[in-house]
């Protein structure tokens, strides 16, 4: 079984965070996001993973290299122009001569991947699509299936009046190499809008695997923050999340840091500062009396005296001035500088 991760989207909904950092490697709990997906692939014994990239591929290649640091073999299939989800898969055809697990590169999940693969084999499917329930399917791909789990309809981003269930495409597939025959080469092609409807039209066995495991698409600021709150509350668990290791001298005695928060190495926290339910990246400086609550702060930020940051995401190396107030929903791009006493 091969693995392929689709990571070529521009991440527009996560801008400005993705202007310099492609979505597959935005930090999640102080770890590049892709590593969670690699962990999951490994649970199914997959040790060769193709990264399908188009946007800022070098940043991802520089981080993962040949995968040796992460105990997998990583190959890169880079598109000069985005080829769409199925076109990107086709672009890696030369490396895939056996069934493959394909992930959308922005889904955090505790899916039982070996069980999905077993179900795929048992049913003799050409494609198995993992489904998950959500409150509002309109932002996803709606999938209908019969009582035996055979998919009968795939409808991407349905209009409100076309919503027939709450089961959506979770962005995880097992695909037989024969689906390549149904994907035209060298031009953009979509799994969701073209390939899946075409396989159904051709009467091929496409099956659903319904899971109610933890699942979230981190591709919007709201969901990115929500994924962090879920991690801090223990709703998503990974043994690989780096624990807080406070260095002696880095934290003043009367600073308050709740047990949930994750603080990376090299962070300094001043007197009377308060951190609650937040993730603080490496080398951040939180000055005297500052508060950071329900927030995610990327590496290298400075939050000055008595500033207050709530429900916010701060990109790399931001600076928040003295007594500035950042309220819920604030998203700062990398290197942003917020002047003293500002209120956002």
Residue nearest to Mg ion (CB): 219
| Residue nearer to Mg ion on the CB measure, 220 or 317 | 220
Chosen from ligand GDD, Mg ion, none, partner binding at 111 (C-beta under 5 to 8 Å by type):
none
Q: Which of 14, 28, 102, 107 binds ligand GDD (CB under 6 A)?
A: 107
Stretch near ligand GDD under the rule CB under 6 A, chosen from 7-15, 145-153, 264-272, 308-316:
7-15
Quote the CA–CA distance of 201 and 180 in Å, as a whole number: 16
Pairing of strands 215-217, 107-109: antiparallel
Radius of gyration of the chain (CA): 21
Contact set for ligand GDD, span 164-183 (CB under 6 A): 168-169, 171
Residues 193-222 that bind Mg ion (CB under 5 A): 217, 219
Q: How far apart are CA 50 and CA 100, in angstroms?
A: 10
Q: Per-residue contact track with Mg ion, 93 to 112, x per CB under 5 A?
A: -------------x------
The piece of 29-37, 81-89, 204-212, 265-273 that touches ligand GDD (CB under 6 A) is 81-89
User: What does the block give as tokens for 149?
Assistant: 């789990």
| Integer Cα distance of 321 and 111 in angstroms | 42
194 part of the interface to ligand GDD, by CB under 6 A: no
Decide if residue 192 touches Mg ion (CB under 5 A). no
Taking the complex as a whole, how short is the minimal distance between the CB of residue 194 and ligand GDD, in angstroms?
A: 12
CB of 14 to ligand GDD, least distance (A): 9
Residue 83 binds to ligand GDD (criterion: CB under 6 A): yes
3-state secondary structure 156-210: ECCCHHHCCCCEEEEEEEEECHHHHHHCCCCCCCCHHHHHHHHHHHCCCCEEEEE
Give the C-alpha separation, 139 to 89, whole Å.
22
Choice from 16, 82, 177, 282 touching ligand GDD (CB under 6 A): 82
Q: Quick one: which of 33, 36, 140, 236 contacts ligand GDD (CB under 6 A)?
A: 140
Inter-residue contact 303 to 316 (CB < 8 Å): no
Residues 309-338 that bind ligand GDD (CB under 6 A): none
54 interface partner picked from Mg ion, ligand GDD, none, CB below 5 to 8 A per type: ligand GDD
Q: Which is nearer to ligand GDD, 53 or 309 (CB)?
A: 53
Give the phi and the psi of residue 84 in degrees, each rounded to 5: 75, 170
Structural element, H or E, at residue 263? strand 262-263
CA nearest to 28, candidates 160, 219, 174: 219
Please state the closest distance from residue 90 (CB atom) to ligand GDD, in A: 11
Helical axes 34-43 vs 113-123, angle rounded to 10°: 50
Strand 256-257, strand 274-276: pairing: parallel
Residues that bind ligand GDD (CB under 6 A): 6-9, 23, 52-54, 79, 82-85, 88, 104-107, 140-141, 156, 168-169, 171, 192, 217, 219
Report the interface residues with Mg ion, using CB under 5 A. 106, 217, 219
């Amino acid at each position: 079984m091969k693995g392929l991760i689709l990571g070529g989207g521009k991440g527009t909904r996560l801008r400005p965070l993705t202007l310099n950092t492609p979505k597959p490697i935005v930090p999640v709990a102080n770890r590049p996001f892709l590593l969670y997906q690699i962990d999951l692939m490994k649970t199914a014994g997959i040790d060769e993973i193709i990264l399908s990239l188009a946007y800022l591929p070098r940043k991802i290649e520089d981080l993962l290299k040949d995968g040796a640091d992460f105990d997998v073999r990583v190959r890169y299939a880079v598109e000069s122009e985005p080829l769409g989800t199925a076109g990107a898969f086709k672009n890696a055809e030369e490396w895939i001569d056996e069934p493959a697990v394909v992930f959308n590169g922005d889904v955090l999940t505790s899916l039982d991947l070996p069980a999905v693969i077993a179900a795929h084999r048992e049913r003799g499917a050409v494609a198995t699509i993992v489904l998950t329930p959500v409150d509002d399917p309109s932002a996803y791909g709606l999938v209908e299936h019969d009582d035996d789990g055979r998919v009968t309809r795939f409808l991407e981003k349905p209009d409100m009046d076309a919503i027939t269930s709450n089961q959506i495409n979770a962005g995880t597939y097992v695909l037989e190499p024969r689906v390549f025959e149904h994907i035209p080469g060298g031009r953009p092609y979509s799994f969701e809008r073209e390939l899946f409807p075409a396989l159904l039209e051709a009467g091929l066995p496409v099956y659903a695997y319904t899971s109610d495991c933890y699942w979230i698409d981190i591709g919007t600021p709201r969901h990115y923050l929500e994924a962090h709150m879920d991690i801090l509350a223990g709703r998503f668990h990974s043994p690989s999340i780096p624990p807080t290791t406070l260095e002696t001298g880095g934290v003043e005695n009367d600073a308050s840091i709740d047990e949930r928060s994750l603080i990376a190495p090299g962070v300094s926290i001043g007197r009377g500062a308060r951190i609650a339910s937040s993730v603080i990246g490496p080398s951040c400086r939180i000055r005297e009396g500052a508060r950071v609550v329900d927030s995610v702060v990327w590496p290298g930020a400075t939050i000055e005296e008595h500033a207050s940051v709530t429900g916010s995401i701060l990109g790399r190396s931001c600076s928040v001035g003295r007594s500035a107030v950042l309220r819920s929903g604030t998203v700062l791009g990398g290197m942003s500088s917020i002047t003293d006493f500002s209120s956002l």
